[in-house]
């Protein structure tokens, strides 16, 4: 007998388990070999460890269904449980990138996020482009943390252009680090989900993980490094070229961005937009496009993005 804890943080338990836990009872009937206990956002499994794998595959598909359709019916649960083996293979626990806080399994949850993972395994440079909430940054950071944990790289570098929604750094209080930290917060947030606080602080202190503005990359050679340039739509062509040419022989690079949210001056071309054209046919470089189907935030985010697209 063993125990395993899964997290449903970020999902509405009422959607998953139903009023009066009616859907939870269906799930329990589907997995009679397991004792399934739900407390808030945590699911505790008790039973033979060999049964955990089947439940994890099933439950990943349940969450995927909710992310795509924002609903989950009792018949949906039956259909998901009966999905053919070939489809289930896509969601094997081996797809787990890292284990986060409270044992949360961090993995690519959509088809295009899975394409990102596959691209990084076979290419040294991947560009991931898509709207807000599609998991570009989160998946990229998870891949970087995995590479660090597996000792595939010695360091992780996360960079962002210091351009945000027309705000000026000069008018913000504090020293340069204090001015820049708010712009880097999404990267800190992702790392806090994936690493214990003490270990993250140690990595930041000794430089194993570096979070820096894009300008700090100039003149460096990044070897044995997993480097991510986030919000790359706000990098100029020269800035993006500068970053990409920092790549050392044993480096992995991911560039992420949303070309529908460019904060550069109107007459300034986005380096990411240019890169999609001039880099697309180079072996070893792959461009992955994510879209509304990949949004894993609140269901309203997808509707908001679709509304803005329609208005334009």
pLDDT (tens digit, 9 = 90+) per residue, 240-273? Answer: 999 999 999 889 999 999 999 998 888 899 999 9
pLDDT higher than threshold 50 for residue 94: no
Q: Which of 24-33, 66-75, 218-227 has the highest mean pLDDT?
A: 218-227
Q: What is the pLDDT of residue 103?
A: 61
Whether the predicted pLDDT of 124 surpasses 70: yes
Residue 172's pLDDT is 47
Q: Is the pLDDT of residue 219 over 80?
A: yes
The helix or strand, by DSSP H or E, that contains position 184, with its residue range, turns out to be helix 176-194
Measured CA to CA, the distance from residue 312 to residue 307 in angstroms comes to 9
95 pLDDT more than 80: no
CA distances from 114 to 85, 128, 191, 251, 259 (A): 18, 11, 20, 21, 21
What CATH number does the domain located at 107-311 have? 3.40.50.300
pLDDT at 90 over 80: no
Q: How does DSSP classify residue 238? A: H
Confidence check: pLDDT of 83 > 60: no
Decide: helix, strand or coil at residue 105.
strand
pLDDT of residue 171: 47
What pLDDT, on a 0 to 100 scale, did the predictor assign at position 179? 55
Distance (Å, rounded) from C-alpha 292 to C-alpha 253?
24
Residue 172 DSSP one-character state: S
Lowest mean per-residue pLDDT among 36-45, 166-175, 197-206, 278-287: 166-175
Residue 256: its H or E element? strand 252-257
All structural domains of the chain with their residue ranges: 2-91, 107-311
Q: Residue 61 — pLDDT band, cuts 50, 70, 90?
A: confident
Determine whether 228 is exposed, middle or buried from the number of CB atoms within 10 Å of its CB (0-12, 13-18, 19+). buried
Question: For residue 266, what pLDDT is reported?
Answer: 85
Query: Which of 230, 191, 97, 90 has its CA nearest to residue 152?
Result: 97
Take residue 133 and report the two structure tokens written for it: 């909430």
pLDDT of residue 2 exceeding 90: no
Predicted local distance difference test score (pLDDT) of residue 91 = 44
Higher-confidence position of 247 and 81: 247
Q: Which CATH number fits domain 2-91: 3.30.499.10, 3.30.1370.10, 3.40.50.720, 3.30.428.10?
A: 3.30.1370.10
Long-range contacts of 48-56 (CB under 8 A, 24+ apart): 48/1, 48/2, 49/2, 49/4, 52/2, 52/4, 53/92, 53/93, 55/31, 56/6, 56/93, 56/105
Contact 158, 141 (CB under 8 A): yes
Question: Could you give the CA distance from residue 39 to residue 103 in angstroms, rounded to a whole number?
Answer: 15
Query: If you ran DSSP here, which 8-state letter would residue 104 be given?
Result: P
Say which residue, 199 or 68, is predicted with more confidence: 199
Confidence of residue 62 (pLDDT cuts 50, 70, 90): confident
User: What pLDDT is stored for residue 228 in this prediction?
Assistant: 97
What pLDDT score does 242 carry? 96
Asked if the model's pLDDT at residue 183 lies above 80, the reply is no
pLDDT, position 181: 66
C-alpha to C-alpha distance for 102 and 91, rounded to whole angstroms: 21
Note whether 144 and 312 are within 8 A (CB): no
Reference 12, options 303, 294, 297, 307; nearest CA is 297
Averaged confidence pLDDT in the chain: 84
Of the chain, the percentage scoring pLDDT greater than 70 comes to 86
């Amino acid at each position: 007998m063993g125990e395993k804890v899964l997290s449903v943080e970020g999902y509405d338990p009422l959607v998953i388990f139903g009023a009066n836990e009616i859907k939870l009872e269906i799930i329990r009937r589907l997995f009679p070999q397991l004792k399934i206990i739900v407390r808030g956002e945590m699911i505790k499994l008790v039973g033979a460890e060999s049964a955990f794998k089947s439940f994890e595959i099933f439950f990943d598909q349940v969450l995927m269904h909710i992310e795509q359709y924002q609903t989950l019916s009792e018949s949906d649960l039956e259909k998901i449980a009966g999905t053919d083996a070939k489809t289930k293979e896509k969601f094997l626990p081996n797809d787990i990138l890292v284990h986060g806080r409270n044992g949360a399994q961090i993995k690519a949850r959509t088809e295009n996020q899975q394409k990102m993972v596959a691209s990084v395994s076979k290419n040294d440079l991947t560009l991931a482009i898509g709207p807000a909430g599609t998991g570009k940054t989160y998946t990229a950071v998870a891949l970087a943390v995995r590479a660090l944990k597996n000792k595939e790289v010695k360091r992780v570098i996360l960079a962002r252009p210091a351009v945000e929604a027309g705000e000026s750094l000069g008018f913000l209080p504090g020293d340069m680090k204090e001015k820049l930290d708010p712009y880097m917060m999404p990267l800190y947030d992702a790392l806090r989900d994936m690493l214990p606080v003490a270990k993250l602080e140690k990595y930041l202190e000794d430089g194993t993980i570096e979070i820096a503005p894009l300008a700090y990359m100039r003149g460096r050679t990044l070897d044995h490094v997993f480097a991510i340039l986030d919000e790359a739509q706000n990098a100029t062509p020269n800035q993006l070229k500068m970053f990409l040419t920092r790549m050392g022989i044993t480096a992995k690079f991911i560039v992420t961005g949303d070309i529908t949210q460019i904060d550069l001056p109107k007459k300034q071309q986005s380096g990411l937009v240019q890169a999609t054209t001039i880099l697309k046919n180079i072996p070893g470089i792959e461009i992955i496009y994510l879209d509304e189907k990949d949004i894993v935030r609140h269901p309203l985010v997808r509707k908001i993005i679709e509304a803005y697209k329609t208005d334009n």
